[in-house]
Structure 1
Amino acid sequence: MLHTQGPLRTIDVGARETATEPIEETLAEFVGGRGVATALAHDRIPFDADPFGPENSLFFTTGPMQASRMSFTGRMNCTGVSPLTDGLFSSNAGGFLSRNFVGAGQAAVEVTGESDELLAVHVREDGVEFEEVPELAGAEVPETVAYAADEHGLEPEHTACIGPAGENRVRFASIMTSESRAFGRGGLGAVLGAKNVKLLTFAGDADPGVEIPSVQMEVHREAATDDHIMKRQGTTSVTDLANETDALPSYYFAEQSFEGAEGINGDRVEEKKYKKGTCSQCAFACKLPTRDEATGVETEGPEFETVMSFGSNCGVDDIVDVMRSNELCDRLGLDVISCGDTVAGYLASEDAFGDAELVRETVEKIAAREGVGDTLAEGIDRAHEELGIENWTVKGLEFPAHDGRALNGQGLSFATANRGADHMYATFYAYEYPLVPRQDAFDPDGLDAAKAEKLVELENARALEDCGVVCRFSRDFMTPDRFEALFDADYEDLLDVGSRVVELERHFNNQRGFDRADDRLPYDIEGFETALDDYYEARGWTEEGVVPDVEPGAPSAAAD
C-alpha cells in the first residue's frame, strides 16, 4: 500500500529541543495525513490532556499524494485535542504549504510543550530554529506573514501562523496558512496560542521518496478540462439549491431559508471574483479571490459556509458585507463557521439581525476577548445560557449549512461525527440534494438502515481522502478503481484504513467521557434513535456508542 515516507519530528517548544524518530509501521498502516496523525495522537497525547496544557500536542501531516503532480492534492492535516469540543480533532487546510512541508524532510511534525516566550519555529531539512518574536505579539495574520518574508525570505506558502484570536485562546481560533487558507474548525489555533507559538515555517528540497502511478495525470487532465460551475462560483454554487431545499439556516437557525439569498448567492460571488484561485498543483481552481471596487475590500471567498454563517444566519443580505466579515476573520485568525454562528447567536439575543456593522464590531471584540467578546470567544456551547439562546452545537462544535432538518441523513451525520457538527466528515448532503447521479441519491426525508450503512461508508471514504491527502472536491474524478491504482491496494482495504481512523478517534474520545449522550441534535428527526442503533451496529460499537478497546493498527471492530 502506498504511504508517506519519512520520520516523525518532535518539537518541544518549552524545552526548545527537537528530535526525530522512525514511524514506518504507523505510516504503512495509516497511509499518511489524518490517519497517521490520529494514530500518533492516540498513542502520545494523554487521554486526560488539557487542550490548553503543555501535554496536548499538535500533529501536522501530509499524505503520499503530496509527492504527485495531481490536482486535488494541495492540502494537509493538523490534529490535536480541541479546546472547543474537548475531543480529538483533525482539521484540514488547502493552499500551498503541503509541498513545502514535505520538502522540510519529515512525514509528521509534533509540536508539544509550552514556551515562556512568543516563538517563531522554523523547520528545515537540517534542523529546527527557535526564534523569539515578542514584536509579533498581537499581530494580525498579514503582518506575521510579512515578517516571514522580510526577515527570512519565505513567502506565504511556507507559513502557518495564528492571529490575535489564537494568542487570546479564542476557542474557535484558526491556524492560517498561505495567508488566507485555514486549519479552521476546532480551535487548533488556540492550542498553538497556548503553546506561545506565533509562527511555523517549513522549507527545504527533500525528496518525498514516493513514486506515484501515472493515473495521476488522467485525474489532472480531467480536472483541467472539466467545465464545472465550482470553477466560477466555488461552493457558493449550491446556495440557491440549499435555499430552495429549506437547507439554508437563517436568523440563528430559526428559519431554514432566507428571503435575501439572491444578494449572497453564487452569482453575486462570481460578480466579485477578479482572478482564478487554486491550491498547489490543482487545475480545478475552485477558489474565489474576490474584490469590491467600491469599498476596496479583497478576500478569498466567501465560500458557501461563510455565506450561511455571516449571511443568512446573521440576516445579512449583501455579499460585500459577507466578504468584509470573511476578510476580517482571515486577518484575525478565526474560523468563519463557528465565529459567524456565534455572532448570529449574539444578534438573536440583541434582536439585531441584519446589522452588518455590529457583526464586524463583534468579530473584533471576540478576537480581542473584549467586553461581550470574552463570553462569545468561548463558543455557543459555553455561552448560550448567558445569552439566553438555544445551544446550536454538536459536541460543542457550531453547525455549518446543509440543514439536517431538511437533509435527514446529513442530520444523522452531524450527530455521529467525532468532530461534532461538521459537514465534511461524511458529506452526506451530496447524496440528498443530490449533487451525485440520481441512481446514487437518497431521499432527503427520513432515516433508515440504508442511510446508516451508507453513512459508515462515507465516513470511511472521507477519512481515506484525509489520509491521502486528497481534496473533497475530487468526488467526480477519484473513483474506487483510481484509488486502487494510485494507492496500490484493494478499495475495501483502503476503506478499512478509514474505518480504523474513525474508530481511533472515537476510542480516544470515549476515554474522555464521550458516548451516545454526545451524539445528539438540537432538533428531532423521526427514526433518529433507531438509525443511531443501526450506525453503532454497523461500526461494531456498543449501543452506547463506545468502541471496544483498540490499538493503532488493529482491525476495526466493524471488520470482525
Structure 2
Amino acid sequence: MPLNRKIAYIDLTTGDIETKPIPLEARKKFLGGRGLDAYLLYNHTKMGCDPLGPDNTLIISGGILTATCASATARTHVMAKSPLTGLLGSANMGGFFAPELAWAGFHHLVIKGKAKHPVYLYVHNGNIEIRDARGIWGQSATDSQWAIREDLSDQEVKSCVCGPAGENLVRFANVMTGIKNSGGRTGMGCVMGSKNLKAVAARGTMDIKIARPAEALEYNKRFIDQIVSAKVNQTQGVLGTPFIWGATNSWGGVRSRNFQYNQCEYADDIEPERIDEICEETMGPYHMTGCFGCQVHCRAQYKITEGPYAGRYDEGPEYTSQGAFGGETDTPRATTVLTGNHLVNQFGMDNLETGSLISWAMELYELGIITAKETDGLDLR
C-alpha cells in the first residue's frame, strides 16, 4: 500500500545509503510530499550552510497518492536551500518520474554530501545504487535521459536530471524529467550540479495495494468528472496553458519590454491558436499529450519550422515561455518562442528567469548602460 513506501538517506561523499520506513505520525503531521520534505530539510540541513556546499541537503519526492489510481498525482517535488535566494527552494514538475519512484519502493530521497566525480542514482525495487555518470556529464537534459536508458539497457527507466546549466552552477537551473517537465524557479538543478549529481533514475515493478480498490475507483471517478467537465480544463486540452497568456495579454496583464509596458502588441503569431496551428502542422491533429494519471492532456508537441533549429522536436510551450521569449522581450514571433522554449529545456534553465534577464539586458543596451563591448558585439536592440 502507499504507506509502506520508504525514505532513503544517501550520502554522496561517503557512498553510504540507508533506507527507513516513514512513520505514520510523520505523514499525518506533515501532509503530502512537500510538507514532509520541508520537515526533512529543516532537520537535515545545517543552519547557514552554503547552498552550493555539501551540507545543503537535496530532497526529491512524490506525494502519498503517487502511482495510485488517484487522478493527476504524478508531481515530483524537489527541495533544498535555494542558491538563487538563500531561502527555501521548492520546485515541482509533472511527467512520469514520481510514479516510477513509488513503484521502485520510495516516496522520499534525502541526498547529502558531494560525489568525487559525476554520478547518478539508480533506484530499482527497493535498492539504490550510485553509478558513474562521467560519460553522461555535459549532455543535454533530454540526451542524458536517453543515455541512462542505454546504460541500464531499459527503455522504461524514468529520470530526473540537471542539464548543462546545472552542471555549470547557473543559479536558476532546473531539474528536468522527460522532454519539458521542469522543476524551476529556485535553482534546484544548480544544487544537483553542485553535488556532481547528474540524475536520479528510477525503475519499479513493485505493486501498490489499495485497501478498498472498488471504492477508491468510484471516489476518483467523481473527481475525473469534475476535471473533464470544467471549461478551463477542456480549453487546456485543446490549447494547453498558452491560452492563459492569450487572455492576460488581451487585457494588459503581462509584462513587456522589461516591465515598461503591460501588453505585447501585434502578437498574433504567438497567440495560443497560432501555436496550436504550428503543432498540428508539424505533429498532426493528435499532438496533445499528458502526464501520468491526468485527463487534461495540456502538453503540446511540436517541431521548430525554421531557423538553425528547424526540425527539432520539443514539447510545450507553456504560457511562461510565451511570456519569456515573446512578451518580455517584445519579440512576438512563434519561431522565437518555440526556439527559446527548446533551448531552455535542453540546457535545463528556468524560462522566466532567462527571459527576464534577456529583456533587462535589452533595456540596458537601449539606454547605453551596456554596449557591444560587454555583449561581445551582439546588438541587443
What TM-score results when the alignment is normalised by the length of structure 2?
0.87
CA RMSD of aligned residues (A): 2.2
Segment drifting more, 254-263 vs 125-134: 125-134
Cα distance, 1:44 vs structure 2: 1.4
Matches within 5 A, 1:406-445: none
Question: What is residue 371 of structure 2 aligned with on the other side?
Answer: none
Q: Which amino acid aligns with 1:56?
A: N
2:291 to 274, 279, 286: 279
Cα distance, 1:152 vs structure 2: 0.9
C-alpha distance 241-179 of structure 1, shift in aligned 2 (>3 A): closer
Segment drifting more, 292-301 vs 144-153: 292-301
Question: What is residue 221 of structure 2 aligned with on the other side?
Answer: 217
Question: What is residue 153 of structure 1 aligned with on the other side?
Answer: 153
Question: What is residue 333 of structure 2 aligned with on the other side?
Answer: 318
Q: Distance in 1 between matches of 2:44 and 2:228?
A: 41
- Kept in 2, the 8 Å contact 1:5–1:209? The answer is no
Q: Distance in 2 between matches of 1:5 and 1:32?
A: 15
The answer as to 2:217 corresponding to 1:236 is no
- Kept in 1, the 8 Å contact 2:180–2:316? The answer is no
Q: Which amino acid aligns with 1:201?
A: A
Structure 1 or 2: more helix by fraction: 1
Question: What is residue 405 of structure 1 aligned with on the other side?
Answer: none
Cα distance, 1:154 vs structure 2: 3.8
- Kept in 1, the 8 Å contact 2:84–2:186? The answer is yes
Q: Which amino acid aligns with 1:18?
A: I
Unaligned runs of 5+ in 1: 353-370, 374-560
Q: In the comparison of the two structures, how many residue pairs are matched?
A: 354
Q: Distance in 1 between matches of 2:335 and 2:254?
A: 19
Cα distance, 1:156 vs structure 2: 7.1
Q: Which amino acid aligns with 1:282?
A: C
- Kept in 2, the 8 Å contact 1:306–1:337? The answer is yes
2:303 to 267, 287, 291: 291
Q: Which amino acid aligns with 1:87?
A: L
Question: What is residue 22 of structure 1 aligned with on the other side?
Answer: 21
Secondary structure of the corresponding residue to residue 138 of structure 1: coil
Matches within 5 A, 1:283-362: 283-294=295-306, 295-351=310-366
Structure 1 or 2: more strand by fraction: 2
Matches within 5 A, 1:469-548: none
Q: Distance in 2 between matches of 1:138 and 1:297?
A: 19
Q: Which amino acid aligns with 2:292?
A: S
The answer as to 2:62 corresponding to 1:87 is no
1:311-369 CA deviation, whole Å, 9 max, x = no partner?
Answer: 110111111211101000111111111111112111222239xxxxxxxxxxxxxxxxx
C-alpha distance 157-323 of structure 1, shift in aligned 2 (>3 A): farther
Matches within 5 A, 1:355-374: none
C-alpha distance 244-316 of structure 1, shift in aligned 2 (>3 A): same
The answer as to 2:282 corresponding to 1:270 is no
1:261 to 267, 286, 290: 267
What TM-score results when the alignment is normalised by the length of structure 1?
0.60
Question: What is residue 118 of structure 1 aligned with on the other side?
Answer: 118
- Kept in 1, the 8 Å contact 2:4–2:21? The answer is no
Cα distance, 1:218 vs structure 2: 2.1
Secondary structure of the corresponding residue to residue 120 of structure 1: strand
Q: Which amino acid aligns with 2:240?
A: G
Cα distance, 1:20 vs structure 2: 1.3
C-alpha distance 292-225 of structure 1, shift in aligned 2 (>3 A): farther
Q: Distance in 2 between matches of 1:197 and 1:283?
A: 33
Cα distance, 1:6 vs structure 2: 2.6
Question: What is residue 164 of structure 2 aligned with on the other side?
Answer: 164
Q: Distance in 2 between matches of 1:95 and 1:139?
A: 20
- Kept in 2, the 8 Å contact 1:71–1:284? The answer is no
Q: Distance in 2 between matches of 1:68 and 1:95?
A: 15
Cα distance, 1:259 vs structure 2: 0.5
- Kept in 2, the 8 Å contact 1:66–1:74? The answer is yes
Question: What is residue 464 of structure 1 aligned with on the other side?
Answer: none
Q: Which amino acid aligns with 1:112?
A: K
Question: What is residue 107 of structure 1 aligned with on the other side?
Answer: 107
Cα distance, 1:165 vs structure 2: 0.5
Cα distance, 1:210 vs structure 2: 5.0
1:89-129 CA deviation, whole Å, 9 max, x = no partner?
Answer: 21110011111010111221111100111102111224221
The answer as to 2:97 corresponding to 1:97 is yes
Q: Distance in 2 between matches of 1:226 and 1:4?
A: 32
Q: Distance in 2 between matches of 1:297 and 1:140?
A: 14
Secondary structure of the corresponding residue to residue 70 of structure 2: coil
Secondary structure of the corresponding residue to residue 66 of structure 1: coil
Q: Which amino acid aligns with 1:219?
A: F
Secondary structure of the corresponding residue to residue 246 of structure 1: coil
1:513-540 CA deviation, whole Å, 9 max, x = no partner?
Answer: xxxxxxxxxxxxxxxxxxxxxxxxxxxx
1:40-70 CA deviation, whole Å, 9 max, x = no partner?
Answer: 1112112212110111111111112214323
Q: Distance in 1 between matches of 2:10 and 2:50?
A: 19
- Kept in 2, the 8 Å contact 1:3–1:28? The answer is no
C-alpha distance 154-342 of structure 1, shift in aligned 2 (>3 A): farther
Q: Which amino acid aligns with 2:14?
A: A
1:123-181 CA deviation, whole Å, 9 max, x = no partner?
Answer: 12242211122222311122211211212134476101111110000000011112321
Q: Which amino acid aligns with 2:294?
A: C
Cα distance, 1:207 vs structure 2: 3.2
- Kept in 2, the 8 Å contact 1:114–1:194? The answer is yes
C-alpha distance 292-139 of structure 1, shift in aligned 2 (>3 A): closer
Q: Distance in 2 between matches of 1:41 and 1:276?
A: 36
- Kept in 1, the 8 Å contact 2:142–2:178? The answer is no
- Kept in 2, the 8 Å contact 1:71–1:223? The answer is no
Question: What is residue 511 of structure 1 aligned with on the other side?
Answer: none
Secondary structure of the corresponding residue to residue 302 of structure 1: coil
Question: What is residue 11 of structure 2 aligned with on the other side?
Answer: 12
- Kept in 2, the 8 Å contact 1:260–1:312? The answer is no
Q: Distance in 2 between matches of 1:87 and 1:300?
A: 31
- Kept in 1, the 8 Å contact 2:141–2:346? The answer is yes
Unaligned runs of 5+ in 2: 368-373, 377-381
1:469-518 CA deviation, whole Å, 9 max, x = no partner?
Answer: xxxxxxxxxxxxxxxxxxxxxxxxxxxxxxxxxxxxxxxxxxxxxxxxxx
